[in-house]
């Protein structure tokens, strides 16, 4: 039965997720190899998870620059870290150490979105723990992503209880700021997420919308009003409750925009992100 359900869902969702995230916000002709490297940030059994790292021109370890951490989308089921390389190169050129992270996918046997969340939190902890070697300011780490990747970015800031116990838990896995687009902030309403979870946890425990409290990192939400995958109403309610709790939460609305609104509004979206980062003193 489960295999049938997985196949059925793949047919429904697969084409959408693949087309959605093979193109990044900062699409370019090529991604130069100069100034980039790949490092393993986490090992789980025989799985080696990698970080793709881009450094600004002339970067030195002593620079202590802000970090731009990207999590790819794909419904917690598809996608790859390479989907974020163009974006990371773009923000590296703007002066940030930029990293696109692999994470385990729920398409692998026995895995669920729970592992995705754990890996995302491990990624933030790794950047902070390696700050001196990377030339990163450990107090200026921004988590970013779209759709499922947006859910992971927000989860690193808001969810507790998804830490890997074999890591140094004295190092925080929460970012200092979050920027997401078309993000699934309320997965308690997401039937696809529920199916992938396979009753391994209760839905609210994985849902940022159910963990709003004061003192959360600054957050920028970018969303289209006609998003049929992540309803706009879930975002407006989330933003309102975040603001009522005293958090800085900006909502940037794209009228008539669907789940892929950013592809038609690339320059505008990049401008919004740049303005938000500048307001935090993350860009010079």
Does residue 271 lie in a domain region?
Answer: yes
Structural domain total, the chain = 1
The rounded distance, in Å, linking the Cα atoms of 12 and 15 is: 7
Q: Phi and psi (nearest 5°) for 74?
A: 130, 25
Does residue 95 lie in a domain region?
Answer: yes
Confidence at residue 35, expressed as pLDDT on a 0 to 100 scale? 59
Does residue 11 lie in a domain region?
Answer: yes
The rounded distance, in Å, linking the Cα atoms of 266 and 39 is: 29
- Residue-number span of the structural domain to which 73 is assigned: 2-279
CATH number, domain containing residue 127: 3.40.50.1820
Does residue 284 lie in a domain region?
Answer: no
Q: What pLDDT, in 10s, does the model give residues 128-155?
A: 999 999 999 999 999 999 999 999 999 9
The rounded distance, in Å, linking the Cα atoms of 212 and 232 is: 18
Its pTM stands at: 0.90
Contacts 24+ apart (CB under 8 A), 160-167: 160/211, 161/205, 162/114, 162/117, 162/118, 162/121, 163/118, 163/121, 164/42, 164/118, 164/121, 164/122, 167/122, 167/125
Does residue 197 lie in a domain region?
Answer: yes
What's the chain's average pLDDT? 89
Q: What pLDDT, in 10s, does the model give residues 221-272?
A: 999 999 999 999 999 999 999 999 999 999 999 999 999 888 788 899 999 9
User: Is the Cβ–Cβ distance between 62 and 51 less than 8 Å?
Assistant: no
């Amino acid at each position: 039965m489960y295999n049938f359900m997985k196949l059925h869902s793949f047919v429904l969702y697969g084409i959408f997720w693949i087309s959605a995230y093979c193109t990044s916000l900062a699409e370019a002709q090529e991604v130069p190899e100069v100034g980039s490297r790949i490092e393993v940030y986490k090992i789980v059994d025989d799985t080696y998870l990698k970080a793709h790292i881009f450094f600004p021109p002339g970067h030195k370890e002593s620079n202590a620059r802000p970090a731009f951490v990207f999590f790819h989308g794909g419904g917690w089921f598809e996608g790859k870290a390479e989907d974020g390389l163009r974006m990371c190169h773009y923000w590296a050129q703007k002066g940030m150490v930029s990293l696109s992270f692999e994470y385990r996918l729920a398409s692998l046997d026995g895995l669920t979105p729970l592992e995705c969340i754990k890996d995302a939190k491990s990624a933030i902890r790794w950047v902070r723990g390696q700050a001196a070697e990377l030339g990163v300011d450990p107090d200026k780490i921004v988590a970013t992503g779209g759709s499922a990747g947006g859910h992971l970015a927000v989860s690193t800031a808001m969810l507790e209880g998804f830490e890997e116990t074999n890591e140094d838990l004295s190092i925080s896995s929460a970012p200092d700021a979050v920027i997401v687009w078309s993000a699934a902030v309320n997965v308690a309403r997401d039937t696809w997420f529920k199916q992938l979870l396979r009753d391994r946890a209760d839905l609210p425990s994985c849902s940022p919308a159910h963990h709003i409290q004061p003192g959360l990192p600054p957050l920028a939400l970018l969303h289209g009003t006609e998003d049929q995958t992540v309803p706009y109403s879930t975002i407006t309610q989330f933003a309102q409750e975040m603001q009522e709790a005293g958090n800085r939460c900006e909502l940037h609305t794209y009228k008539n925009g669907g789940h892929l609104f950013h592809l038609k509004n690339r320059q505008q979206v990049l401008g919004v992100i740049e303005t938000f980062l500048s307001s935090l003193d993350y860009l010079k």
